Amino acid sequence: MLFGKYCTRINLKKLVWIIAFLITAGLTILWYSFILRNRFHVDTYFPYGNGFNPPSISLITYAILVGFMIYNLEKVVSLNSISLRIFRMISGIGKHTLYIFLYHIICKSFLDIFLTFLFGKNIVITNVFVLCAIYYAFMLFIPIIIEMVIKKSGSLIVKIIAEG
């Protein structure tokens, strides 16, 4: 929270932001590979956390590194107006994360049922990129549509009740 409060006051040159991003990206990759090789053995020496839940020291360190890497990436991206526009469009999904979190499993289940109904039980999509694109698009955009429908219907109900 302290970092968030004062992070807007950090003014560095373009090259420094790029170097900071590369360093944090490298540290994040190194720490992730350490976690994979170490299999959380280092966490047995600490009294808090022993893996995923509650998060261990290894995962807390990884989360902090990812946070700093994303912060530095945002600073690097903000140096170019075109990449900043693309970054803002992608990060615009963030205001819908609650509904994406709530409904993505329902949407995935519905998509599985729909694909099975449409193509039969022996559907095999061999290209993993196509499969990921279909599933992620479905699990991102359907919850956003559900959110819009819920908000619109709520405002219509309030309007109908107010007109009485």
What does residue 40 show for φ and ψ, rounded to 5 degrees?
A: 65, 20
Q: Are residues 122 and 154 in the same domain?
A: yes
Q: Which two tokens stand for residue 57?
A: 């020291």
Q: Are residues 62 and 29 in the same domain?
A: yes
Taken as a whole, the chain contains a residue count of: 164
pTM of the model: 0.58
Which one, of 30, 32, 50, lies nearest residue 40 by Cα? 50
| Amino acid 19: pLDDT | 95
What number is the average pLDDT over the span 122-146?
Answer: 81
Helix (H, G, I), strand (E, B) or coil at 156: helix
- Domain hosting residue 54, numbered range: 2-79
Q: Are residues 150 and 105 in the same domain?
A: yes
Q: Please report which confidence band the pLDDT of residue 163 belongs to, taking 50, 70 and 90 as the band edges.
A: confident
Q: Is the pLDDT assigned to residue 53 strictly greater than 70?
A: yes
**pLDDT digit string, tens, across residues 5-28:** 777 777 888 899 999 999 999 999
Which one, of 59, 56, 66, lies nearest residue 24 by Cα? 66
Q: Are residues 74 and 98 in the same domain?
A: no
What number is the average pLDDT over the span 111-134?
Answer: 77
Q: Please report which confidence band the pLDDT of residue 137 belongs to, taking 50, 70 and 90 as the band edges.
A: confident
**Could you tell me how far CA 55 lies from the centroid of its own chain?**
18
Q: Which residues contact 147 (CB under 8 A, 6 or more apart)?
A: 96, 99
Q: Are residues 72 and 136 in the same domain?
A: no
Q: Are residues 51 and 98 in the same domain?
A: no
Q: Number of structural domains, the chain?
A: 2
pLDDT more than 70, % of the chain: 93
Residue 85 is assigned to a structural domain of this protein: no
Q: What is the DSSP letter of 43?
A: G
Residue 88 is assigned to a structural domain of this protein: no
| Dihedral angle over CA of 18, 20, 22, 27, nearest 10 | -170
18 or 3, higher pLDDT: 18
Q: Which two tokens stand for residue 71?
A: 């912060």
| Amino acid 122: pLDDT | 66
Residue 132 is assigned to a structural domain of this protein: yes
Q: Which residues contact 61 (CB under 8 A, 6 or more apart)?
A: 31
**Spatial distance between the Cα atoms of 108 and 5, rounded to a whole number of angstroms:** 38
